[in-house]
Chain A
């Protein structure tokens, strides 16, 4: 009996002082006092207050990461529909300020707003002053909402326009190879063509689907 009580870890919330069993390894602390013997007699294998499969809380009884409770799918769908409706309303009324977009162009992704400049390290066969539409848009955001593409957003949804303002060359990069005491020295000047784009506008359509 005493051995059984000693191995059974009584929970803190339940705790009652053990007056009789001072030899027990586990000490229970808490308000009130009752004998362990009466507790052990009361709590046999069919315990009334503990639910089935109850594990008392110790440092290893649950994983160290916080337990994630997923929401109810019906409620989640309703919440999603609400959010989409709100965003649709904002877009339809035009209640957004400055928009930014993440655009994939010339094998790079650029976070772009209107009126900003980007430098492309190659030659585009476009004359200076011509207006371009950047089609691969991955993300569009305003102050209150963000639209993420999977991976791209539709062309009927976003439109990003840019102008080529300059086609120039990079500064001369020196590519020199030298090996000491071997009479080996090579020098090459590399000049890359560059294009500078000015992003003019980012527009979103008034209706999401």
Chain B
């Protein structure tokens, strides 16, 4: 819908991932595909050819393959923060399934909703947050508004 009508969140990471070491957030992939149906042809080929290499490239992910009679092959991705995402592999080619798996492996389990700001910092100010009295000279006894002090020499920036 609109940005205002849908949920939103701030940019975060799961448990400060990337600070110390990077941990892949994908925990489990469960494929359910059919042995005979034509809609799961791509899924079958993926399982025959690509899934072993994918598993070797991502050693932190557990992959389950369940062949059972189903009309629509699916994959359920579970992440370390408990989020579960289900994707359909219906009538997809092997390349499409491979890119989809790579995308799921690169994502973290955070919601795919509007992110309010493209940055996040825990220490927004280092030199002190600006307020209207920063870099203004002080006066003994207090200046009244529009009262000019003795003109101070202009400061040269270093």
Interface residues in chain A, defined as those with a beta carbon under 8 Å from any beta carbon in chain B: 66, 68-69, 71, 76, 79-80, 83-84, 87, 97-100, 110, 112-113, 115-121, 128-129, 141-143, 145-146, 163-171, 174, 196, 198, 200
Q: Which of A113, A166, A174 has the most CB of B within 10 A?
A: A166
Residue in contact with B154 in the complex, picked from A68, A128, A167, CB distance below 8 Å: A68
Interface on B for A, CB 8 Å cutoff? 1, 6, 11-13, 16-19, 22, 24-25, 103, 105-108, 112-115, 118-123, 126-127, 151, 153-154, 156, 158
A150–chain B nearest beta-carbon distance, Å: 13
The answer to whether B151 and A66 have CB atoms under 8 Å apart is: yes
Given contacts A69-B153, A116-B120, A119-B115, contact A168 B126 (CB under 8 A): no
Q: Which residues of chain A are near B13, meaning CB under 8 Å? A: 117, 165-166, 196, 198
Q: Which residues of the other chain, A, contact B121 by a CB distance below 8 angstroms? A: 112-113, 115-117
CB-based nearest B residue for A165: B18
Given A118-B118, A119-B115, are A163 and B126 neighbors across the interface (CB < 8 Å)? no
CB-based contact A200/B154 at 8 Å: no
Q: How far is the CA of A128 from the CA of B51 in the complex (A)?
A: 19
Nearest-CB residue, chain B, relative to A68: B154
Q: Is the interface of B mostly helix, strand, loop or mixed?
A: loop
5 closest residue pairs by CB, A with B: A198-B18, A129-B22, A116-B121, A119-B118, A165-B18
Residues of A within 8 A of B151 (CB): 66
Docked-complex contact B108 and A166, CB < 8 angstroms: yes
Which residue of A113, A120, A169, A174 is within 8 Å of B103 (Cβ)? A169
Say whether B122 contacts A115, CB under 8 Å.
yes
Contacts of B126 in A (CB 8 A): 97-100, 113, 141-143
Q: Using known A-B contacts A165-B22, A174-B1, A200-B19, determine if residue A143 contacts B127 with beta carbons closer than 8 Å.
A: yes
Task: Please determine whether A167 and B18 come into contact, CB atoms closer than 8 angstroms.
Answer: no
**What separation, in Å, do the CA atoms of A170 and B112 have in the docked complex?**
7
Q: Is the beta-carbon distance between A165 and B17 smaller than 8 angstroms?
A: yes
Q: Hey, which chain B residues are within 8 Å of A97, CB to CB?
A: 126
Are B119 and A117 touching (Cβ within 8 A)? Answer: yes
Known contacts A142-B126, A198-B17; A171 and B6 CB within 8 A of each other: yes
Q: Chain A residue with minimal CB distance to B123? A: A113
Contact between A171 and B114, CB atoms less than 8 A apart: yes
Additional 19 contacts, C-beta under 8 A, given A121-B118, A166-B108: A69-B153, A71-B153, A98-B123, A110-B119, A113-B121, A115-B16, A116-B121, A119-B119, A128-B22, A129-B18, A129-B24, A164-B18, A165-B17, A166-B107, A167-B107, A168-B108, A196-B13, A198-B19, A200-B18
Chain A nearest CB from B139 CB (Å) reads 16
List chain B residues, Cβ under 8 A from A79.
156
Nearest neighbor of A162 in chain B, beta-carbon distance: B18
Does B119 contact A116, Cβ atoms closer than 8 Å?
A: yes
Q: A165-B13, A166-B106 are in contact. Are A116 and B122 (CB under 8 A)?
A: yes
CB distance from A165 to the nearest CB of B (A): 4
Inter-chain CA distance A18–B17, complex, in Å, is 86
Cβ-neighbour of B156 out of A76, A99, A115, A174 (below 8 A): A76
What chain A residues lie within 8 Å of B119 (beta carbons)?
A: 110, 116-119
Q: Which residue of A lies closest to B20 (CB)?
A: A200
Contact, CB under 8 Å: B22 / A69: no
- CB nearest neighbor in A for B117: A119
Kindly identify which residue among B6, B12, B105 contacts A117, using a CB–CB cutoff of 8 Å. B12
